Structure 1
């Protein structure tokens, strides 16, 4: 991801924010993650996000609070990614070797799973579960309702929420 060209004032603000706070953010992330490499990657990603929204630079009054908010979100995303990847790898390990997908297919499936996870991020756990049970397991709304201990009409509401997320993601930006 490359940063858009900034006007000279925003470019100076970005440079100042980076030079004044990168070391601090890196240290904060290193403590949080316990890994220098992950901390460096996340600090880099945090500043890329800031550069992706240059209009927000002018409004930053508390740079460390702003950076902490962005960094926390990135930490949680990395943890979710790790958990999802570990769950996928555990499922793969349970497969007989002759039916296991190729490494390329594994990478594609993992990226697809991560994209679906990001897509459904705003949903409640039950709504996300209902959508996945319907789409991946082929369960009926009544079966999902019994599994989640909710009514079938509630499952319909969950599905409408999930499908709205899918529809919104499919719209051109």
Structure 2
């Protein structure tokens, strides 16, 4: 199944991705990653519309790529603000980007309000009362969403440490 899917649609998929990215090398990499995703799925799928199936998987991979690039650019922009004497090794740079991607994935699973409140508290250092005033909800609502977001992140962090062992 995968063999025929690859033979029949790989060139089309590379072209489809290439038109969206404008980079043949990245298109080739993402096309390969698309087939790797299919190969590593728990269940075998025989799509009735293979191109729609492949483009859906590839679209998700492109979103991940854009997200990673955006996070990396934000990180590089923040490094520009540091004194030049602060040097970060390539290994540390990679670890920081991976951590940012993990945080982004955790936050992406939260509802919009919980994510907003969590980020206002953690990044902006705002109190629950200040967040309440800014977004127009009660302090109890802010507290409830903050606790939900914090609990969610802590549980996911615990899960990821258990799988590392």
Asked whether the equivalents of residues 30 and 62 of structure 2 are also in contact (C-alpha less than 8 Å), the reply is yes
**Corresponding residue number in structure 2 for 1:72:** 59
- Between the aligned partners of 1:114 and 1:15, the Cα distance in structure 2 is 32
Aligned length: 160
Q: How does 1:40-51 map to 2 (within 5 A)?
A: 40-51=28-39
Counterpart of 2:9 (choices 2, 21, 24) is: 21
Cα offset, 1:32, TM superposition: 0.6
Say whether 1:144 aligns with 2:131: yes
Gaps of 5+ in 2: none
Task: Tell me the alpha carbon deviations over residues 113-142 of structure 1, each in whole angstroms, 9 at most, x when there is no partner.
Answer: 111111222224443232234344544322
Cα offset, 1:20, TM superposition: 1.0
TM-score by length of 1: 0.79
**Moved segments of 4+, more than 4 Å:** none
Asked whether the equivalents of residues 126 and 148 of structure 1 are also in contact (C-alpha less than 8 Å), the reply is no
| 3-state SS of 2:43 partner | helix
User: RMSD between aligned alpha carbons?
Assistant: 2.3
- Between the aligned partners of 2:135 and 2:90, the Cα distance in structure 1 is 34
**Corresponding residue number in structure 2 for 1:38:** 26
| 3-state SS of 1:57 partner | coil
